[in-house]
Amino acid sequence: MDKQNKATVRIAGALCVQRGTRMLQAFADAVTVSDHQEVDIFDPDTGEGYQRAPVTARVRKAARYYDEKRGRMPNPLLVNIRKDDMEAERVVVVVDADQSGYENAVLKGGNWIGTGRIEFTDDLSLWIYDGQHRAGGLNQLLGEQEDFEDFPVPISLTLGLDPGEEMREFYEVNTNAASVKTDLAWQLLTKMAEDDPELREMLAAEDKDWITRAYAVVDELEKLDGPWKGRFQEANRRKTRGDGVTIPKPQFARSLKPVLDMPSFKRADAATVAVVLNAYWTGIKQVMPEPFDEASDFVLQKGNGAVALHRVLPQVVEVVRSTGGRLGQPEGYAEVMAELPTLEGESVDNDGQRMIRSGADFWRVGSVASGFSGDAGRRRLSLLIQSRLPSPAETIQL
């Protein structure tokens, strides 16, 4: 290394090579971890990053645990030194013994166990891919107490993963153990599958490729002028009053499974499916516009409405086809959904009075449709909608 890149930090511990990947199990003091840590937060504007934004309450809870409760940290932070830094020789790996065995395992993708240390420059980033709230708690305490600087922090350090591999480790850890929120987990899965043919094949073999297909459809739907433009809530973006957002993107994507399972759409590209969905919802808006004009006051474009109406879409498509309609034109759907405003049911108002609600009021927040919660409730709601639709058998012309 040249003088400018002189290594100034050392961390020693149990060193191994696991299927060609170098790993170090060690302890570092809280100051070292704090000075070098980075967290790759997902940015909904750029699509870069992969972690959820830190939750202040969880950071404070961790800080209180280590401070007031004199808590210990037995579980390591999962940390990575990225491939670019390793290749730029900003990190030196020193092996205590069996240097040739270590190098051979790295070269051939094998396994090796030993001890050693790493040395790296003072400006190197240690990317935390699991444990950001615990690390945040340490940061808070370091700003408040000097006697916390030498607190030993366990770290499990991978050496040389690129950001995509790091993201996949994060995904696996958080979905196979203490699950990361679905909105981000699904978005990460889609992002990983874009660049990983093997992952795409695995998802197809497990009949889970509909998840990535659904996200692709949502992305295409967002590009179209129609009822869903500006309605989806991105991961790491809070809903604010008046923003027009009605449903988290993964909830809408999940509601698309019965649509994507239709034989007609199994091999259809995302843009085509998005055009059909846009026409379908535009047709619904033509027969009942009020819930779309004041979307936040109605559940039609929230979970209950999206799930139920996508469950009936296969039947609607069959009717549209049997009557000679085109799947990309709203008028055919408006004709099939003409009886949707006749749905009615009983609800209780703020004064405790029972009232029959129909039309747009059926879908108002707190009214009848709001009561169809959970999967079972949404299934009943879809059956109720189906009762107002013409049957495909009734439209068959022999």
Name the residue ranges covered by the structural domains of the chain. 9-176, 205-395
User: Hey, what amino acid is at 366?
Assistant: G
Neighbours of 83 (CB within 10 A): 16
User: Nearest to residue 361, comparing CAs of 380, 350, 347?
Assistant: 347
SS3 266: coil
Q: Between the CA atoms of 48, 52, 57 and 63, what dihedral angle is there, to the nearest 10 degrees?
A: -80
d(CA 83, CA 76): 21
> Tokens 């570092």 label which residue?
28
**Under a CB-based contact definition with an 8 Å cutoff, are residues 238 and 251 in contact?**
no
* Alpha-carbon span 267 to 68, nearest angstrom: 57
Half-sphere exposure of 201 (CA within 13 A, CB side): 3
In tens digits, what is the pLDDT along the chain, a chain of 398 residues? 444 445 689 999 999 999 999 999 999 999 999 999 999 998 888 888 888 889 899 999 999 989 988 889 999 999 999 999 999 989 999 999 999 999 999 999 999 999 999 999 889 999 999 999 999 999 999 988 878 899 999 999 999 999 988 988 887 787 665 444 555 666 666 667 677 777 666 666 666 678 888 888 999 999 999 999 999 988 777 778 888 899 988 889 989 999 999 998 988 999 999 999 999 999 999 999 999 999 999 999 999 999 999 999 999 999 999 888 999 999 999 999 999 999 999 887 766 778 899 999 999 999 999 999 888 999 999 999 999 998 766 655 54
| pTM (whole model) above 0.85 | no
Please state, in angstroms and rounded to a whole number, the distance separating the CA atoms of residues 218 and 159: 36
